[in-house]
Structures are given as C-alpha cells and as structure tokens.
Amino acid sequence: MKGYDGGAGDFQMGPLTFMLNYPDHCVLYRFIPRSVTETDMELVWYVNGDAQEGVDYDKEDLTWLWHFTSLEDEFIIMRNSAGVNSHFFQPGPYHPEHESTCMEFISWYLKALSGTKLS
C-alpha cells in the first residue's frame, strides 16, 4: 500500500475478539478465559502476505505501541484484580447506562459457562 492517510478502523468478533485495522497492518486481540480468575490474551499482528520483514516493515516499529499498551493494561488489570479480591471490596450493581457492556458480557459469559446454547 502506498502512503498513509491516517485512517484506522476496528471491529469486534464476539465479546472476546477485537481487530484494529490500519492501512498497512491489522492487530488482533483475542481474550481466552481459563478460569474465574485467569484469562489469556493473544495479540497477533497481520501484514500483507507479500510483505517482507526488514524490507516492507520493521517489526519493532510495527509492534511497539500495542505491545507496551498491552503491558500497561496488564498492570492495571492485575491491580484491579487484587482490589476486587481483597476483603475490603464490596460489589455493587452495574450502572445501567455506563456499564451496559459489562452487563451484556457477564450475561453471555455465565451462559457460556453453564453450557446453555448461545444465540
């Protein structure tokens, strides 16, 4: 692809997979729940099938932003997890306007764990 117009897009494939799209590459985030307290994250970069590393792109230039963003996210998630697992935390209801996505995810996740057919 010649040139870069600054455009970007994204889309979601189900509740646990997201793709960020740029003119010269895509980044796929896939979250894989392993237990109530553990989730793996898979982060995959895609470039044109004909692109050659070191010629058409530099791997470090391509991956640095989302690599470091993901490390920062992990730090935040680990601190949040420690907080909600402390004896000081008392859960409350989700805010229907600001946390509707969380409510939808919890509903989907509980159905998936129960073996109920997902629609």
Which CATH number does 9-114 carry? Answer: 3.90.380.10
**pLDDT tier, 108 (very low <50, low <70, confident <90, very high otherwise):** confident
User: Residue 82 carries which side chain, given as an amino acid letter?
Assistant: A
Spatial CB neighbours of 46, under 8 Å, sequence gap ≥ 6: 25, 26, 27, 28
> In angstroms, how far is CA 76 from the centroid of its own chain?
14
Strand, coil or helix: what is 49? Answer: coil
Q: How confident is the model at residue 2 (pLDDT cuts 50, 70, 90)?
A: low
Please choose, from the candidates 40, 45, 41, the residue with its C-alpha nearest in 3D space to the C-alpha of residue 19: 45
* Model confidence pLDDT, tens digit, residues 25-75: 999 999 998 988 889 999 999 999 999 999 999 999 999 999 999 999 999
**Mean pLDDT along residues 92-109:** 90
The stretch 83-106 carries a mean pLDDT of 91
